[in-house]
Amino acid sequence: MKTLALSLIVAVAGIRATEHYVSPAGKPENAGTKESPWDLATALSNAKAVEPGSTIWVEGGTYQGKFQVKLVGTEAAPVRVRVPRGERATVLNSGVEVVEPSAYVWLQDLEIMGDVPVERRLTDQTGSWPKGLPGTGGLEIRTGKGCKFIDLVIHDNLLGGVGWWIGSTDSEFHGCVIYNNGWKAPDRTHGHCIYTQNKDGTKTISNCIFTVPAWGGSYTLHAYGSKKAFVDNYVIEDNIAFERGPFLVGGGQPSHHIIVRRNYLHGVSMQIGYNAPENEDCEVRDNVIVGKLSINKYRKVVDEGNALDSPQARSIVIPDKYNQDRAHVAVFNASRSPEHRINVASLLKPGDSFRLMDPKNLFGKPILEGRCETEFISAPISGDFAAFVLLKGVK
C-alpha cells in the first residue's frame, strides 16, 4: 500500500510539473516546448496534449487570430495559462472565447484589448448586436466549471469587455482591470465591463477595477437578465468602480442569494434588484458609495455598514489573493488634498521596492515608484478619488 501511495504521489507531481510554451512566432506543428513553442490558438484549444496540472506560458508579444479555450483540468489540478512576470502578452482585436469542453482553467495576466479608434466605434444600428463594426474583442465565457480569470487587463474592445454566461459555473473573476470598452449607437452608448447571468453554482467577482469611458460604454457591472434569464448566486466583493457606469445586480426574474460587500464606488450608483416583482434574499454590507444605493423588492435584506455620498478621507488596500506582489487601492479624497498617505503594510514592508500604477496605463510609467521606508507611502492625488494598482518589486 505504501508503494502504491508513493507511486500515485509521484505521478500527480509529474502531471503538475508539465509546462508548455507559446510565442507570437509559434507554430501548430511545434512541440510546445520553450525551444519549439506553439502558437496561442493551438495551445488554448489543445485539450488532448495539455493534461490537468499543466501550465501554459504565454511569452510577451502580440497575438491576433481566433482564440477558443478548450482546456480541461481538474479541481485538484487546474490548467493554468500564464504570462511570465515582467512580460506583456496582448491579444489584439481578436477576443478570447471559453467553450466546451473547458473546465478548471485559470487564465492569468493576459491583456485582451482593441485598438479601434473612438471615431470608428460608431454605428447607425440600435440594440446590442450591431453588424459591421470594425472589430470584436473582449472575453466571452460560455461554459466551464471551476474556472478562474485572474489579473486580466481587458480594455478598448469594441463590443464590450466580458460576457459571462450561465454555462459557466462555480467560477471566479479576481484582480482584473476592465475599462474603455464599448461603442456608440443612435439609441445610447453600449458595452459593459462585465455582463453576466448565473443560475447554478456561484459566480464570484472580487478585487476588480471597473470604469467606462466618458464618450460611451454602459454599465461597470451588469448582472442582468430578462424574465427568461437568471441572476442568482453571486458573491461580489472588494471591487472598485469609478468615474461612471452603473453597478447593477438584478433582472426581470426573481434573484436569489446575492452577496455584495466591501465594494468601493465613486461616481457610480449601485442598484440591487431591477424590475422583478419580488426577489428572495440579499446581503449588502460595508460598501462605500459616492453615488446612490437602491435595494429593490427583496423579501430578506441585510443592509448594514454601507457608507454613502461623502465618506471621510480614507484609502483601502486590497491584496491580490493569487499574486502576493500585487494589491488594488481605492482613495477617497473629499478634501482634494494633493497627496494622500496610504497604509501599505498589508503588501509592503520597509525596504521593499514598489510601483504605484494607473490602472488605465498598467504597462506604462508608474505614478510613483521607490522603496518603502515605513508602513505608509504618500501618493499624488489630482481629484476627490483615485484608483491604483500597487506592485511590489521591480518590473
Residue 287 burial by Cβ neighbours in a 10 Å radius (0-12, 13-18, 19+): buried
- For the domain made up of 17-308, give the CATH fold: Pectate Lyase C-like (2.160.20)
pTM: 0.94
Average pLDDT, the chain: 92
Name the fold adopted by 315-392.
Immunoglobulin-like (2.60.40)
Alpha-carbon gap, residue 6 to 324, rounded angstroms: 31
Question: At CA 218, angle to CA 217 and CA 221, rounded to 5?
Answer: 120
pLDDT at residue 9, as a whole number = 42
Q: 11 pLDDT exceeds 60?
A: no
**Distance of alpha carbon 317 from alpha carbon 336, whole angstroms:** 19
CA–CA separation, 132 and 390 (whole Å)? 39
Rounded average pLDDT over 345-362: 97
pLDDT band at 388 (very low <50, low <70, confident <90, very high): very high
What's the whole-number mean pLDDT along residues 139-162? Answer: 96
Q: What amino acid occupies position 48?
A: K
Judged against a pLDDT cut of 90, whether residue 272 lies above it is answered with: yes
CB–CB of 299/279 below 8 Å? yes
Q: How much is the pLDDT for 346?
A: 97
Angle at 198 between CA 307 and CA 306, to 5 degrees: 5
Q: What is the pLDDT of residues 24-72, one digit of tens each?
A: 999 999 999 999 999 999 999 998 899 999 999 999 999 999 899 999 9
pLDDT the model gives residue 128: 76
Q: What mean pLDDT is predicted for residues 133-149?
A: 90
Span 143-161, average pLDDT: 95
Q: Give the mean pLDDT of 106-129.
A: 86
For 37, other C-beta atoms within 10 Å of its C-beta total 24
d(CA 154, CA 132): 22
pLDDT digits (tens, 9 = 90+) for 282-300: 999 999 999 999 999 999 9
Neighbours of 86 (CB within 10 A): 9
Structural domain boundaries in the chain: 17-308, 315-392
Strands 139-141 and 79-82, by their bridges, are unpaired
pLDDT in tens, 223-253: 999 999 999 999 999 999 999 999 999 999 9
What's the pLDDT score for residue 7? 41
Give the confidence band of 14 by pLDDT, cuts at 50, 70, 90.
very low
How does residue 17 score in pLDDT terms, banded at 50, 70 and 90? low
Sign of the C-alpha dihedral computed for residues 23, 29, 33 and 36 taken in this order: negative
SS3 19: strand
pLDDT at 194 over 70: yes
Under 8 Å between Cβ of 223 and 271: no
* pLDDT greater at residue 239 or residue 2: 239
